[in-house]
Amino acid sequence: MNIKLKSEILEKSIHIESYLSQILMRLLDIENLNNKTFGTKGSALSFKSKADLLYDIKKIDKNLYNDLILFMEIRNQFIHNLDTNSFETVNSRINKKTRLLQLYDEFDKHKEFGLMLKEDKLYKGFIFLCIRIIQNLETTENKILEEKKAALDRQIEVIEKNHELEFKKLTNKALADSIDEVMEVLNESFKKNELGEKFNAGNRFTDLIKTSIFGLLKKNIAKEIDKQNKKTRANK
């Protein structure tokens, strides 16, 4: 029954399917390992359903999807059929009968022409298929992580901008209140001399001074805000 070969196929299948689940969990922000959809429960999605889902949402391309389906067909032949003991038997039963030999020719740079049995070539082709699937899944996962990081950075940028706008509103209000306080101090200081009457509320001279003070304070606050923003960006 070739238990050794079947066990090897099963081991690779577990590895690849676990990777599919891991990618989907990252994509959907699922942290619970015992979740119903991708965990160990009977309700979990099948190998093909996971591949279909990733392909439907355009997270894997057609080539990787086809590789996954080919792998699944080979696995099913070995795991579900008692009389499947060799790759030659599998190759006679799957749709893409030349694919493993093509993979062997494509990846084996040190092949010994005419000396290797067809079974060995098919086996090597299968190993290359597994390697390519894992490499492409790693690329897919890294791309998803980069996309999620970029999305998070955009969210942080929006939040920071909103906070900055809110801070400016509060600052402007504080500036306005401060100017009124400053004008009260100035009014008290000059009340006893000939300039006192020029600081009456509504006086054009009073408004001019308030505008000047407001502009000066606002300019200084703007410098502080810019300094804090640069410091924040430098610490990222």
Q: Give the amino acid at 55.
A: Y
Q: How far apart are CA 209 and CA 203, in angstroms?
A: 10
In the chain, where the domains are located: 3-153, 155-234
User: Which residues of the chain fall below pLDDT 70?
Assistant: 1, 109-115, 167, 169-218, 220-222, 224-225, 228-229, 231-236
What is the structure's pLDDT at 47? 94
Q: How far apart are CA 156 and CA 10, in angstroms?
A: 44
Asked if 86 and 93 touch (Cβ cutoff 8 Å), the reply is no
Q: In sequence order, what are the residues at sequence separation of 6 or more whose Cβ sits closer than 8 angstroms to the Cβ of residue 212?
A: none
What is the structure's pLDDT at 123? 93
What is the structure's pLDDT at 116? 75
The first and second tokens of residue 163, run together, are 């906070």
Report if pTM > 0.85: no
- DSSP line for 143-191: HHHHHHHHHHHHHHHHHHHHHHHHHHHHHHHHHHHHHHHHHHHHHHHHT
Quote the radius of gyration of the chain (alpha carbons, Å).
35
| Burial class for 52, CB neighbours closer than 10 Å (0-12, 13-18, 19+) | middle
